[in-house]
């Protein structure tokens, strides 16, 4: 529980920070043309029905930064039931806090009723866990209370559809201009209420190329362990936003700097070194840089690839142990280690089954790609996940060099070759026994890893 002294300190801090500053239409550059038609429709219908209606959060922040917002969120004083009354295409969702989703085909506009303070400090006990985490969050309030409950100053700006002004409650404009990520209120209390805010601080710092304010940054390392209590499903969603949004490499470095990465991927973090040159660290750099490139080129990405890359060397370490202590064959060891490593990983990040299936396929292909004799090579190429498996083999080649790099080169040539050349490449492989080859590869690798 948060001590009374701290709560008083927090509320004093918050009160001093929440001060409304209105920026009139002619003093900012957000135009209605920048806002999606569907969001505008919702804002106007609420307004015309006599309610307050604001565009809020990331939408306002990104428009002020001349960036394309990912989505448009709306806040209002209408209750969910009143919202539902106004829109035929409305669905109410969420038990913890009821939200309205207004559906326009695939486009969904989220409308939230202003949230108030959860409870008076004396009654906080029932709404918070021992660590001060908010368990309930379902009281409606005024717009200024709503602003106070948001995470960062730059996320607490409201665009008012009534007169097109911006309501800045926490000095967000100033922080936006100077590139500062600053929590509203007492940072330690706010992190204890919701430890995911630590991840969000890092995510926005990387994505917006901003600096985390000193007092917002200071409690992160000491409180990083609180992430261990966050449901693994929520951390899966967050991990994608962190690492698969086009700034993954930069975000990864910041997560390490703040001791947060090890809370998301404990087995991966065990491989980290002072110099940053372990195989795991090398492959993470390659995988995240390639994901960032693909996203920024507008290409599709598969989260399974990243997880497969992050966990491959921890997987091999586990497999080596199974071979040494339980005399597994390399193949069986990798298969068994896949179960062990994934079981451990899903405790912190609940990777859904559809992705773990692909991760396993990518790993299994690392065992199958060396076996190219006869018709095997052509058959492998027909597999659904061949491309992902090959891409990963190439990355391993860059990290490990030697046999793996040779093998990756062979596969790249093979794919680009015509029929005759492919046949010649297969013939060149000779009649080497694939089983023996596998074992030899393994021994070589072990030697070079030492």
Q: Does 151 bind ligand ATP (CB under 6 A)?
A: yes
Closest CA relative to residue 217, chosen from 206, 238, 202: 202
Considering the complex, what minimum distance in angstroms separates the CB of residue 56 from Mg ion?
Answer: 9
Give dist(CA 257, CA 251) in Å, integer.
Answer: 10
Residue 372: contacted member of Mg ion, ligand ATP, none (CB under 5 to 8 Å, by partner type): none
Residue 445: contacted member of ligand ATP, Mg ion, none (CB under 5 to 8 Å, by partner type): none
Dihedrals phi, psi of 22, to nearest 5 degrees: -100, 125
Q: Which of 7, 76, 113, 155 binds ligand ATP (CB under 6 A)?
A: 155
Give dist(CA 351, CA 65) in Å, integer.
Answer: 33
Give dist(CA 351, CA 232) in Å, integer.
Answer: 8
| Residue 114 CA from chain centroid, whole number | 26
DSSP state letters, 43-111? HHHHHHTT--EEEETHHHHHHHTT---S--EEEESS-HHHHHHH-TTEEEE-SSS-EEEEEETTEEEEE
Q: Does 115 bind ligand ATP (CB under 6 A)?
A: no
The conformation of residue 170, written as its DSSP 8-state character, comes to S
Binding piece for ligand ATP, criterion CB under 6 A, among 36-44, 69-77, 285-293, 414-422: 69-77
Which of the residues 13, 62, 146, 151 is marked catalytic? Answer: 151
Q: Which is nearer to ligand ATP, 193 or 394 (CB)?
A: 193
Q: Does 197 bind ligand ATP (CB under 6 A)?
A: yes
Q: Which is nearer to ligand ATP, 146 or 400 (CB)?
A: 146
Give dist(CA 252, CA 19) in Å, integer.
Answer: 35
Q: Does 76 bind ligand ATP (CB under 6 A)?
A: no
Q: Which residue is nearest to ligand ATP (CB)?
A: 58
Q: Does 141 bind ligand ATP (CB under 6 A)?
A: no
Total residues belonging to the chain: 450
Q: Does 58 bind ligand ATP (CB under 6 A)?
A: yes
Query: What's the Rg (C-alpha) of the chain?
Result: 26
Q: Does 247 bind ligand ATP (CB under 6 A)?
A: no
Task: By CB under 5 A, name the binding residues for Mg ion.
Answer: 58, 71
Q: Does 385 bind ligand ATP (CB under 6 A)?
A: no
Q: Does 73 bind ligand ATP (CB under 6 A)?
A: yes
Residue 292 annotated as catalytic: no
Residue 34 annotated as catalytic: no
Structural contact between residues 360 and 367, judged by C-beta atoms closer than 8 angstroms = no
**Residues marked as catalytic:** 71, 73, 151
Q: Which residues bind ligand ATP (CB under 6 A)?
A: 57-58, 70-71, 73, 150-151, 155-156, 194, 196-197
């Amino acid at each position: 529980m948060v001590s009374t002294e701290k709560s008083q300190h927090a509320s004093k801090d918050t009160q001093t920070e929440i001060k409304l500053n209105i920026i009139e239409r002619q003093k900012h550059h957000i135009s209605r043309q920048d806002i999606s038609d569907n969001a505008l429709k919702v804002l106007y219908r609420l307004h015309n029905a006599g309610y307050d209606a604001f565009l809020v959060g990331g939408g306002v922040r990104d428009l002020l930064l001349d960036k394309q917002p990912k989505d448009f969120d709306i806040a209002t004083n209408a209750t969910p039931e009143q919202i539902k009354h106004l829109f035929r295409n409305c669905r109410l969702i969420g038990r913890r806090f009821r939200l309205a989703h207004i559906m326009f085909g695939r486009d969904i506009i989220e409308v939230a009723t202003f949230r108030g303070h959860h409870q008076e400090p004396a009654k906080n006990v029932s709404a918070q866990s021992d660590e001060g985490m908010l368990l309930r969050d379902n009281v409606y309030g005024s717009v200024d209370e709503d602003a106070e409950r948001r995470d960062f100053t730059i996320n607490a700006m409201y665009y008012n559809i009534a007169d097109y002004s911006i309501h800045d409650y926490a000095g967000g404009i100033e922080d936006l201009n100077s590139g500062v990520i600053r929590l509203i209120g007492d940072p330690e209390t706010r992190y204890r209420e919701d430890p995911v805010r630590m991840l969000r601080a890092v995510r926005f710092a990387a994505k917006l190329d901003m600096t985390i304010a000193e007092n917002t940054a200071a409690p992160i390392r000491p409180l990083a362990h609180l992430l261990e209590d966050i449901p693994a499903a929520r951390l899966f969603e967050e991990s994608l936003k962190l690492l698969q949004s086009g700034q993954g490499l930069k975000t990864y470095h910041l997560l390490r700097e703040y001791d947060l990465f090890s809370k998301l991927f404990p087995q991966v973090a065990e491989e980290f070194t002072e110099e940053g040159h372990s195989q795991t660290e090398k492959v993470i750099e390659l995988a995240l840089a390639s994901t960032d490139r693909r996203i920024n080129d507008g290409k599709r990405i598969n989260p399974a690839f990243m997880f497969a890359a992050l966990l491959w060397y921890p997987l091999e370490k586990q497999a080596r142990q199974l071979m040494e202590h339980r005399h597994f064959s390399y193949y069986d060891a990798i298969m068994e280690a896949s179960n062990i490593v994934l079981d451990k990983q899903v405790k912190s990040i609940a990777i859904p089954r559809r992705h773990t299936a692909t991760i396993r396929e990518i790993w299994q292909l690392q065992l199958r790609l060396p076996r190219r004799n006869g018709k095997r090579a052509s058959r492998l190429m027909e597999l659904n996940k061949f491309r992902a498996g090959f891409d990963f083999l190439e990355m391993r080649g860059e990290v490990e060099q030697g046999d793996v790099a040779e093998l990756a080169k062979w596969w790249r040539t093979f794919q680009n070759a015509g029929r005759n050349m492919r046949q010649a490449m297969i013939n060149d492989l000779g009649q080497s026994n694939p089983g023996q080859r596998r074992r030899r590869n393994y021994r070589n690798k072990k030697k070079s890893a030492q």
